[in-house]
Structure 1
Amino acid sequence: MQTEKVADHIINWLKNYATKANMNGFVVGVSGGIDSAVVSTLCAKTGLDTLCLEMPIHQHASHITRARKHIEALEHNFANVSSVETNLTPVFEDFKKAMPQERKFETLDLTLANTRARLRMTTLYYFAGLHKYLVAGTGNKIEDFGIGFYTKYGDGGVDLNPIADLLKSEVYDLGNHLNIIEEIVTAAPTDGLFGDSRSDEEQIGASYDELEWAMKNHDEGKTADDFEGRNKEVFEIYSRLNSANQHKMNPIPVCNIPVHLKK
């Protein structure tokens, strides 16, 4: 990948899109991970206003530390960057109190994790509305179009996404080019939705390098029967998630009413 040219292309794309949309800039949720660090830096480099939001909800301390270090570096280097920390923990706890919490539901923990993402999406759009900003997404190609590893109407609820055509490895290449701080580059990727340090790999069952391999072979029409051992296992993980999460990646189904029924 021609990293410098890709970065310049994305920066120009962001600036042109915002200008044509008559918007003032961008708001980005900064989590302490590589994806949000790269996106917020690319937005900052447009010269347009860039608001970095920290939205902790029972967040692991290391995530908060990395996010703050990154934001401080951006604010030091770019006059157009500002930041706000909005502690959503009390909001999340009030929401839980208002909802039935019967442990008999096996999906309760995942449902609450997705609720965190949706509270953050609402917060991003609150600030976007105040300042006439665009909400910049931070999902990479594997997450957005490979396995659907995001929350519908949570971190998937954005106005535009500058890195959705980049594999995770390519995001890291951009991160190195953009001089993202070392703690973020070397940190294990995590969605931070469970209030602990569990990594994406622990949740998914495969690393991003493995998933990139599986995505390439899946797109080439290969099947699990073409592989053995760990490769077969990874390919099956990718295929299962890709199939299960099509509802996130495809447009919302619309019930088309036959013309004769409307007459």
Structure 2
Amino acid sequence: MNIKITSGENIMQETEEPSVKITEELNKDIENLALNIRGFIKSQISGFKKKGAVLGVSGGIDSAVALTLCVQELGKEHVYGLILPEKESAPSSKVLGAEICESLGVAYEEVPISPIVESLNIYEKKEQVIKRACPEYDPAIHKTSLIFPDFLDQELLNVPYIRLIKDGETVGKYRLKANDYLELIGLQGVKQRSRMIVQYMYAEKMNYAVCGTTNKTEVALGQFVKYGDGGVDLEPLADCYKTQIYALGKHLNINDEIMRRPPSADTWSHYTTDEEFYWRMPMHIMDQLLYSQEHDLPPGVISENTDLSTDKIEKALKHIRRIKNTTEYIRAVPPVYYLNR
């Protein structure tokens, strides 16, 4: 509460402290943010003594923003794009990836990772797990996605489900056992790790650094694969919430189709958004909650920004803390044992 003396009076009056507008705070001074990230990219590439940067280009907003900033700072001749589809990727991913590379004049190459994934029998193993959970599953007619119940509407436990889709319609939803869920996560992680193998193969051949595209929302929630999309040389977006990535995209004039595309890891045959799987709530709500935790904002301010009840805010923040705790090992640097210390 701020205290002030009214002019001409000796009376102390209380005035309410201005409310914090979280989204406005996140999105302010985006032009300067872009310049600072560009400077970070340049200093890291120079410090590594590399000639440029390799990026995996997915057709999503994160890689589009990272690619654009790299081109602006390093020049298009020092940036190389890799489009790394597999047979369960959405067709639009490689189309949009190619479009953003071409619009920036960046040399790029499409390197399908399906042969790597198939060599480890990942698709067949995945089908076996899904069939255990979903007896009616037929890979010839069904697409699949892994989802969690919406947290804000249902406030349910972290119970994962496999969803079967036929002709664009959901025809079944089956709860996964813990062991089946863990196996599926392990199998899916092979895709991101395969992509990183390819990126480093090209980066080392060209004497380039591998530039990551993970944002702050993903870092906070452990929403990346260790030694997959998390195994890079530099992470220029890792201190930018997803909300800020979209603001950067608007500032950088990123393709409208990419801007409108729902964020996704794009590793399931049915396009599964991050809101359905990782966040369990709308992106703007998740970012405001994470920002509130970071800045220790009171429940009243959070409620004013999110339109959530105090009870729902308390449960959501507890849910986020639990996610952070269980994914701490993903963010951690591997412990090293030292002799004689």
TM-score of the two chains, using structure 1 as the length reference: 0.87
SS at match of 1:45: helix
**Equivalent residue for 1:50?**
79
Looking at structure 1, the residues matched to 98 and 46 of structure 2 have their Cα atoms a distance apart, in angstroms, of 29
For 2:338 and 2:327, how far apart are their aligned partners in 1? 23
> In the TM superposition, what is the alpha-carbon distance from 1:20 to its structure 2 partner?
2.9
Q: For the structure 1 residues 229 and 186, does the alpha-carbon distance in structure 2 shift closer, same or farther, using more than 3 Å as the test?
A: farther
Aligned to 1:29: 56
Runs of 5+ consecutive residues of structure 1 not aligned to the other structure: 76-80
Deviations 1:119-158 (A, max 9, x none): 00111100010001110010111111x1110000000000
Number of aligned residue pairs: give it: 252
Shift of 1:208: 2.2
Change (3 A) 1:53 1:251: same
Distance 1:43 1:241, change over 3 A: same
Deviation per CA, 1:8-38: give whole Å up to 9, x if none: 2221221232123221000000111100000
* Cα offset, 1:245, TM superposition: 0.5
Moved more, 122-131 or 107-116: 107-116
What is the alpha-carbon distance in structure 2 between the residues aligned to residue 10 and residue 213 of structure 1?
A: 22
Q: 1:173 deviation in Å? A: 0.9
Equivalent residue number for residue 3 of structure 1: 30
The 3-state SS of whatever aligns with 1:150 is coil
Pairs within 5 Å for 1:13-28: 13-28=40-55
Distance 1:128 1:85 in 2: 15
Deviation readout 1:214-246 (Å, 9 max, x if unpaired) = 21232345899x964543443233112111100
Unaligned ranges ≥5, structure 2: 1-27, 133-178, 303-308
Structure-2 change in CA distance of 1:116 and 1:223 (3 Å): farther
Mapped pair 1:201 → 2:275: yes
Residue 122 of structure 1 pairs with residue 122 of structure 2:
no
Alpha-carbon distance change, 233 to 184 in structure 1, aligned in 2, over 3 angstroms: farther
Q: How does 1:104-143 map to 2 (within 5 A)?
A: 105-106=179-180, 107-143=182-218
1: CA distance between counterparts of 2:91 and 2:97?
Answer: 10
Q: After the TM superposition, which of the residue ranges 168-177 and 96-105 deviates more from structure 2?
A: 96-105
Q: What residue in structure 2 maps to residue 60 of structure 1?
A: 90
Task: Give distance in 1, aligned partners of 2:72 and 2:294.
Answer: 34
Q: In structure 1, how many angstroms separate the alpha carbons of the residues matched to 2:125 and 2:112?
A: 23
State the 1:253 CA deviation: 2.2
The aligned amino acid for 1:129 is E
- How far apart in 2 are the matches of 1:223 and 1:249? 27
Deviation at 1:254, TM superposition (A): 2.8
Report the 3-state secondary structure (helix = DSSP H, G, I; strand = E; otherwise coil) of the residue aligned with 2:107: strand
Q: Which residue does the alignment assign to 2:147?
A: none
187-196 or 11-20: which moved more? Answer: 11-20
- 1:154-233 aligned at under 5 Å gives the runs 154-204=228-278, 205-220=280-295, 228-233=310-315
Contact 1:57 1:195 in 2 (8 A): no
Bigger Rg, which one = 2
2:317 maps to 1:235: yes
1: CA distance between counterparts of 2:328 and 2:114? 31
Give the share of equivalent positions with the same residue, in percent.
29
Deviation for aligned residue 1:100: 6.6
Work out whether residues 51 and 78 of structure 2, in 8 Å CA contact, stay in contact via their aligned partners in 1.
Answer: yes
Q: 1:72 to 1:96 in 2, by over 3 A?
A: same
Larger strand fraction of residues: 2
For the residues of structure 2 that align with 1:152 and 1:99, how far apart are their CA atoms?
Answer: 23
Distance 2:193 2:284 in 1: 28
The TM-score normalised by the length of structure 2 is: 0.68
Pairwise CA RMSD: 2.4
Is the Cα–Cα contact under 8 Å of residues 203 and 210 in structure 2 kept in the other structure?
yes
Q: Which among 327, 332, 337 is matched to residue 250 of structure 1? A: 332
For 1:80-104, what per-residue CA distance to the aligned partner results, in whole angstroms no more than 9, with x for missing partners? Answer: x210100111221111169977637
